[in-house]
Amino acid sequence: MQSSLSKTTVFNEVISIPQRLNLPTLPDNLSPMLLVLFNLMFSLNSPAIAQAEPARGKIISIHSPIEVTIAENKEDSFQTGALLVIRAQGQVEILGYAEVTERIQGSRTVIARIRSHSSNALIRVEDTVESIDLTDSDLSKEQMRQGRHDLVIRGKKEISAKYKPQVYLGALAGQTAATLEKNEFFMGPGLFAYGLNESIQLSTQPFLDALGEANLHVKWLAFQNEDYRISLGAESRFNFDHRRAVGSFSLYWDTFSNSKFLTYNQLRVTTGESELYERKTSAAFSVNYGYITNRWNRIIFGPSIDFQKETLGGLLSYQWVWDQFHSAFSLQSRDFTNLKFGNEGYLLYLDFWWRF
């Protein structure tokens, strides 16, 4: 009797999980075992399960454009290295993100470095701060993470890729001026890359390697500030079957138009023997505009010019960004006047990659 009562009690406790956590429920006419499995699955994965309240505080002094002092609401709330979201008093709009760099002994205050901030507003004394977990891209956990280029964070490898600058636009559009963080990896059919440090990135194109054309690309981030990012790139290719070598040099520069738009410019000069060109030296130039959505996905579009072939093409791409995985659906043309699908006309393709 005691055993039967215990099993009944346990079963009732399990099937009552959805009511206590406001989770979806199944019809009552399903078998008890299915009900138990369903409820356990959602209870283990639900964000509704007790989450720690964010630590809060306010800015009490500003030392420089990138450093502030913050008073905690509770002692030892903010740990060194923690990321904080900054908002104006009583507002939900995000002004920026800061990272705790130092605790002041004997007081409930910390020093924080501004990691990014809105270009449309000023950070002031009395603005409020609270801790935030940017390693997770689930927007339901933090409703007001507005997608903005000026809120993108550099120098934090562990955060979700949603909040990092883009380093790659797709298999045909190529790279941007941004580089991976130190010891960060990028893997996809169009590009495999590694961040040697915060300024130097090494990469190769796997599909060319598979076709017998070994290649290596080195990109150096030469300069960046709130308005510009400039990088230099050098690539070497060697086809073992045809004993043919090709080298290219690229200039990348990204410009910040406003909080929602960023421009990716690339000038590439190629030299050596190539089946694509009659002359040994050629040049191409592209300007791609990147729009960031409120959910931190990207829309990329813009023209490209091939000076050797004297053609005008372009790109239109929508890119979904999660914590590590990206996917992109793109339409690209090498020559707008060639109304055919193919290598010299229009290409429609799906791309994907991981960044971790």
pLDDT tens string 8-34: 444 444 444 445 444 444 444 445 544
Is the distance from CB of 221 to CB of 177 less than 8 angstroms?
A: yes
pLDDT tens string 40-58: 444 444 444 445 678 899 9
- How is residue 233 written in tokens? 């790139």
**Per-residue confidence (pLDDT) for residue 168, from 0 to 100:** 96
Kindly tell me if the per-residue pLDDT of 284 is higher than 70.
yes
pLDDT tens string 160-175: 999 999 999 998 889 9
Question: Environment class of residue 13 by beta-carbon count within 10 Å: exposed (0-12), middle (13-18) or buried (19+)?
Answer: exposed
Averaged over 278-295, what is the pLDDT? Answer: 88
Kindly tell me if the per-residue pLDDT of 2 is higher than 60.
no
Domains and CATH numbers, the chain: 2-45 (no CATH), 56-132 (2.40.10.170), 161-355 (2.40.160.40)
| Contacts made by residues 190-194, CB under 8 angstroms, sequence distance 24+ | 190/351, 190/353, 191/353, 193/167, 193/168
DSSP 191: -
Q: Cα(174)–Cα(168) distance, rounded to whole angstroms?
A: 6
Provide the 3-class DSSP secondary structure of residue 40: helix
Question: Which phi and psi (to 5°) does residue 160 adopt?
Answer: -60, 145
Neighbours of 287 (CB within 10 A): 17
**Per-residue confidence (pLDDT) for residue 279, from 0 to 100:** 53
Q: 296 vs 148, 263, 355, CA distance in Å?
A: 7, 16, 15
pLDDT tens string 303-354: 999 998 899 999 999 999 988 999 999 999 989 999 888 878 899 999 999 9
Nearest-10 crossing angle of helices 32-45, 2-15: 50
